[in-house]
Amino acid sequence: MRIASYKRTKEIVDKYNFVIKKNFGQNFLIDGHVLDKIINSAEISKNDVVIEIGPGVGSLTEELLNYAHKVYAIEIDKSLIPILEDNLKNFDNLEIINQDVLKVDINSIINQFPDKDIKVVANLPYYITTPIIMGFLEGKLGVKSMTVMVQKEVANRMKAKPGTKDYGALTLAINYYGRPYLAANVPRNCFLPRPNIDSAVVRIDIYKCPPVLSADDKLMFELIRMVFNQRRKTLLNAIYNQGGFGFTKEKISEIINAAGFSPEVRGEKFSLEDFAMLGNCFTNAINI
C-alpha cells in the first residue's frame, strides 16, 4: 500500500508515536490521485535528480524514488529521519539531508550531476513557501523546473494578470525567472491533518535567460517593491515617497516620461516588460 493514503499514513504516525508539528507546517498528503498529478506534471525520468523539500513521512518521496535517478530529501525535523529511513530502506537512490533547506548548499548537490536534469518537487511548508521558491530562482542554480504544492492563494498570485488584486511583486518575480502554470487544484481533505485552506500544484519551468532585458535586476525589483508597497498611489508618488533612488520629484517624472509612461498612471497595471523598460531608464539616469 502506498504511503499516500489515510490508512498507511495514520499507521506510520501511530507506529512511531510521531507528533505532527504545526510550527513546521506538517500536512501529509494522503491522496494518491493528487500524487499521480504531481509526478505527471513534474515529468520525472531516470535522467532526473530530484530535490524534495519537506518529505514528511515519505508520501511523495516514495513515488519519486520509483521514477528518478536519485532523490535528495531535505527534512528539517530530525524526528522524521528514522521514519523515512525505515519506510524507504528498500531504495538505494535516496539521500536524506536533515537540515533547513535555506541553509543547504544546493550547488554541492547539483555539481555532482553535470549530465542530469535537476528538478525540485515538493509539498512545501506553507509558512516558508516564498523564501524557498525565491531562493532557488534568485540563486540561478541550474534547476530545470520546480513542481510544488503551495497555498491556492499563492498559486493565484503566481498566475495573476496586471491590474488584478492578486497581481504583485511575487507575480513579477516568478515570471521573470520562469514560466508558471497550474497543474492541479488540491482540496484540503487531501491532507492529514486537514489544513484550513485549499492548495494547488504549480510547475515553474525555469528560463535559461529572462524573457526581458534588464540592465540591473536589483534596481528593477526595488522599483517593483516601491510600486506594490503603495499600489494605490500614482507611479510618480509611489517611487518618490520611498526615496526615488535619490532623485527629485521633477527628475523622477522626467525619467518616467522618457520611458514612455505617464507619471500619473498606477504601477500595479505594469507588465514585466514595462518594469524592465522603466528600470533601464532609471539605471541610465543613475549612471550618467
d(CA 25, CA 80): 13
pLDDT of res. 172: 98
Classify each residue of 119-155 as buried b or exposed e, where b means 16 or more C-beta atoms within 10 Å of its C-beta: bbbbbbbbebbbebbeebbeeebebbbbbbbbbbebb
CATH number assigned to the domain comprising residue 38: 3.40.50.150
Is the pTM higher than 0.75? Answer: yes
CA angle, residues 13, 91, 93, in degrees to nearest 5: 120
Last residue of a domain, one of 147, 182, 206: 206
- Does pLDDT of 187 surpass 90? yes
> Is there a domain that residue 22 lies in?
yes
145 plus 252 within the same structural domain: no
**Contact (Cβ atoms closer than 8 angstroms) between residue 96 and residue 73:** yes
Please indicate, yes or no, if residue 212 is contained in any of the structural domains.
no
Per-residue pLDDT tens over the stretch 3-53: 999 999 999 999 999 999 988 889 999 999 999 999 999 999 999 999 999
Is 211 contained in some domain? no
For 35, the grid coordinates are: 500524487
Q: Which domain holds residue 223?
A: 217-287
Q: What 3-state class would DSSP assign to 86?
A: helix
Residues 125 and 249 in one domain: no
Show which of 151, 181, 206 is a domain's final residue. Answer: 206
